[in-house]
Amino acid sequence: MESTVAQKLEAIHNLQLLDSKLDAIIKVRGALPEEVQDLEDEIAGYETRLEKFQSEIDSFENEIKALKESIKESEKLIKKYQEQQMNVRNNREYDAITKELELQDLEIQVAKKKITEAGYRIDTKKVDLEELSAVKKDRQKDLDQKNSELTSIVSESESEEAKLKNDREKATKKVDERLLKSYTKIRANAKNGLAVVLVKRGACGGCFNTVPPQRQADIREKKKLIVCEHCGRILAGVEDEIVEEVAPKKKRATKSTKAKA
């Protein structure tokens, strides 16, 4: 069943009202959700770097372990060679063993030097690790605070938001498909999130440009879809001005006050 233009306009306007309410809820949360996300990303980055530091420290420690093992091996060999040296039969054998002893001695010296170097690297990495841990801890504190702020703001509007979303889903089903497409497009490009507006005080409710009287009359008729010629927003109707002419007591009357219904 084809719905009339008036029905289509009512449906899309209804959707706009719900979306505007949802926008207002999101706006209250401000930049908080994004800040929370940024902090979470930042902290995840620190964690990755901390893990890398730790694995570097681990590998240096493993290196030291292996070097200590090789020193032990060398010491064993030295002991063995020294015993062999006691029982040599000639100078050639003696010299050969002396060379082996010198070689093992050199191996030990190199290993000790490497252990010192690795130890130094571990110390440096540990300083980096501690510094980064402190930064991370700091950031975590910020995150916790922002998270609790966000949680309390969200909880204030949680049920309202859920209801609006539910209503929105229902409202969307009533909207003409093609109209919904252009609505989504206009809304995405509109800073204030308004795609469907009323003519208020002779002006477009979205861009505040004047809507000529004849056009206003056409809009009132709701025989066809009319968009604002300035901003392209869908003009769903003309808001009737409730003018309450109160006897002007004050000399400097500001803008005409609308009745607070």
What percentage of the chain's residues is helix, strand, coil (to nearest 5)?
70, 5, 25
Q: Where are the beta strands (DSSP E) in the chain?
A: 196-200, 203-204, 234-238
Closer to Zn ion by CB, 77 or 207: give it.
207
The secondary structure of residue 238, as a DSSP letter, is E
Q: Which residues of 183-203 are buried (b: 16+ CB within 10 A; e: fewer)?
A: beebbeebeebbbbbbbeeeb
Residue 231 found at the interface with Zn ion (CB under 5 A):
yes
> Do residues 46 and 139 make contact, with C-beta atoms less than 8 angstroms apart?
yes
For Zn ion, which residue of 164, 228, 236, 238 counts as binding (CB under 5 A)?
228
Residue 174 found at the interface with Zn ion (CB under 5 A):
no
Residue 207 found at the interface with Zn ion (CB under 5 A):
yes
| Cα 186 to Cα 132, 206, 228, distances in angstroms | 46, 11, 12
Residue 206 found at the interface with Zn ion (CB under 5 A):
yes
Residue 237 found at the interface with Zn ion (CB under 5 A):
no
The distance of closest approach from Cβ of residue 7 to Zn ion in the complex, given in angstroms and rounded to an integer, is 23
Residue 11 found at the interface with Zn ion (CB under 5 A):
no
The distance of closest approach from Cβ of residue 229 to Zn ion in the complex, given in angstroms and rounded to an integer, is 8
Closer to Zn ion by CB, 39 or 238: give it.
238
Closer to Zn ion by CB, 67 or 204: give it.
204
Residue 236 found at the interface with Zn ion (CB under 5 A):
no
Residue 164 found at the interface with Zn ion (CB under 5 A):
no
Q: How far apart are CA 165 and CA 163, in angstroms?
A: 5
The distance of closest approach from Cβ of residue 213 to Zn ion in the complex, given in angstroms and rounded to an integer, is 16
For Zn ion, which residue of 114, 139, 201, 230 counts as binding (CB under 5 A)?
230
Residue 201 found at the interface with Zn ion (CB under 5 A):
no
Pairing state of beta strands 196-200 and 203-204? antiparallel
The residues facing 108 across adjacent strands are: none
Number of residues that bind Zn ion (CB under 5 A): 7
Q: How far apart are CA 93 and CA 167, in angstroms?
A: 98
Residue 121: half-sphere exposure toward Cβ, Cα within 13 Å? 18
For Zn ion, which residue of 22, 111, 115, 204 counts as binding (CB under 5 A)?
204
Closer to Zn ion by CB, 111 or 204: give it.
204
Pairing state of beta strands 196-200 and 234-238? parallel
Q: Which stretch in 55-63, 85-93, 164-172, 233-241 sits in contact with Zn ion by CB under 5 A? A: 233-241
Residue 198 found at the interface with Zn ion (CB under 5 A):
no
Closer to Zn ion by CB, 122 or 186: give it.
186
Q: Contact residues for Zn ion (CB under 5 A)?
A: 204, 206-207, 228, 230-231, 233
